[in-house]
Amino acid sequence: MADHYQLIVRNGMLVDGSGNPRRRADVGVSEGRIAAAAGRLAGASADEEIDAEGLIVAPGVIDPHTHYDPQITWDPYATASCFHGVTTVLAGSCAFSVAPTHPDDRSFFSGLFAKVEGMAPVALDGISWEVETFPEYLVTRAGQLVVNLACYVGHCNLRRWVMGPDGSARAATTAEVMEMGKVLRQAMDAGAAGLSSTHASTHNILPKSWGPGHLPFWLAVGSPATWEKAGRLGQGALGFTFSSVHNVAPWIESYKKGISDCIDPVGEFVNDNVMITTAVRCSTDRAAARAQACHTGNAYLPSMVALYHDTMPGPGGARWPKGPKPPPEQQLDPLIDGGFLLCGSPEEICEQLQPFGDYGVDQVCFGLPGDATSHKEAIELIETFGRHVIPEFDEDPVVSTERYRALAEPKFPAFNREPIPISTLHST
């Protein structure tokens, strides 16, 4: 007698998560569990069949760190994670959750979600505050979800539930800790995934400061048109030395002209900043720095960037996944002279950096490919660059974007209503 299943997914390319290569296979499901996933289920029948021809069949992704507990009260899909194959979300992270929450503390926790996680206050108005305890929260989600949900109990919620506003101002007494344990046990018995907490002093959950204005806006630039566009929009320009820094000079000039004429930036302020990402190999031992620049693996990162960012001039040579070859020793000096690479002793690096400043570059950024740099080499590079190079160019401890933010005039109100006052140990 032929096998019968509740569901058969046929003709898909199976990626089962075991580490085995992908393979063409049918998947049979019975009683909500995978009953067969080996080759073709020829002759088998099912109550429902899905033709997955041309599609990948794979287990759902589990996202172990989310803050979907507010959104899940009105969005059962956990958008947009579900679009990326996520079928299980673990919410209530970072020491705060939707429950348990006293009615008088709902505005407080809305403020935490808004400030700590950057959630829009308008969106948080959609939270269905129909419960107080954590068991009640889980009961209201039953039968209302499309994704699977597991949720931590926030330590901040326990403190606020037991201690009131003092939960953000002092250490808990022994009796209060015992009471928090009782509330946590009730939540665990109801199905909570556990407790999420923080290492902040006295378990105090301090929201990030809003600061004056929003964070600065940047635009990744590559072609001459994108440099001009970033300036016109009043955004910072994030560039790369895939072209010689000398060739980028006229693009920087067009950016500076555009940003000097910008009177209506995209954000609340003009972010007049050019950041160039380049490769750096710096050591007090010049020979060691040059040897590191020739390590196999140095060229993988630019080859991958060139693959995905087609607005940028490519570095030449093989593109990922083909293995690019590192530069031979005799090519280092032409690369350095062309401004593609900073390499050598601190004194040489300072000399090589000078054209960047002359052309109007405000910041230089670099990364360290893990497959080309050992931990010891990376630490030595960072320490040497920090001690001997940065002080020669940057004497101002305040980043320019912070000054721009301080002078910014808001275009729109930050809240649809005034936020509640929050008093903490750091208020005075």
**What's the pLDDT tens digit per position in 196-223?**
987 644 334 434 444 556 778 888 887 7
**Residue 32: pLDDT band by 50, 70, 90 thresholds?**
confident
The answer on pLDDT for 5 being more than 50 is yes
* Residue finishing a domain among 14, 43, 58: 58
Q: What is the pLDDT of residue 205?
A: 40
Q: Is 63 helix (H, G, I), strand (E, B) or coil?
A: strand
275 and 343 fall within a common domain: yes
Same domain flag for 227 and 352: yes
Q: Give the model confidence (pLDDT) of 353-372 as tens digits.
A: 999 999 999 999 887 765 56
For the residues 51-71, what does the mean pLDDT come to? 89
From 58, 73, 94, the end of a domain falls on 58
pLDDT over 80 at 305, yes or no: no
Give yes or no: residues 369 and 285 share one domain.
yes
Angle CA(366)–CA(368)–CA(372) in degrees, nearest 5?
Answer: 140
Q: Report which of 171, 180, 160 is spatially closest to residue 110, judged by C-alpha positions.
A: 160
Bridge partners, 152 (sequence order): 194
233 vs 326, higher pLDDT: 233
pLDDT score of 326 more than 90: no
Please say if the pLDDT value at position 275 is more than 50.
yes
Determine, yes or no, domain membership for 77.
yes
Position 412 scores a pLDDT of 63
Q: Is residue 423 part of a domain?
A: no
Tokens describing residue 163? 């201690």
Indicate whether 159 pLDDT > 50. yes
218-229 pLDDT per residue, tens: 888 877 888 999
In this predicted structure, what is the pLDDT of residue 318? 47
Same domain (yes/no): 251, 295: yes
Give me Rg for the CA atoms of the chain. 28
Q: Average pLDDT in the 134-153 region?
A: 92
What is d(CA 118, CA 106) in angstroms, rounded to the nearest whole number? Answer: 17
Looking at 178, 203, 228, the residue that finishes a domain is: 203
Number of domains within the chain = 3
Q: Give a yes or no: residue 413 inside a domain.
A: no
Q: What is the pLDDT of residue 59?
A: 86
Where residue 339 falls among pLDDT bands split at 50, 70, 90? confident
Torsions phi, psi for 386 (to 5 deg): -70, -40
Rounded Cα distance between 70 and 128, Å, is 8
pLDDT band of residue 296 (cuts 50, 70, 90) is low
Range of the domain at 257: 218-406
Residue % of the chain over a pLDDT of 90: 35
167: burial class by Cβ within 10 Å (0-12, 13-18, 19+)? buried
CB atoms within 10 A of CB 378: 15
State the average pLDDT for the chain. Answer: 82
133 pLDDT higher than 90: yes
* Whole-prediction pTM: 0.49
Question: 138 pairs with which residues across the strands?
Answer: none
96 contacts: CB under 8 Å, gap ≥ 6: 109, 112, 113, 116, 154, 155, 156, 157, 196, 205
**CA 63 remoteness from chain centre:** 14
Contact of 235 with 262, CB cutoff 8 Å: no
Residue 328 has a pLDDT of 80
CATH number of the structural domain spanning residue 13: 2.30.40.10
Helix-strand-coil split of the chain, %, nearest 5: 35, 20, 45
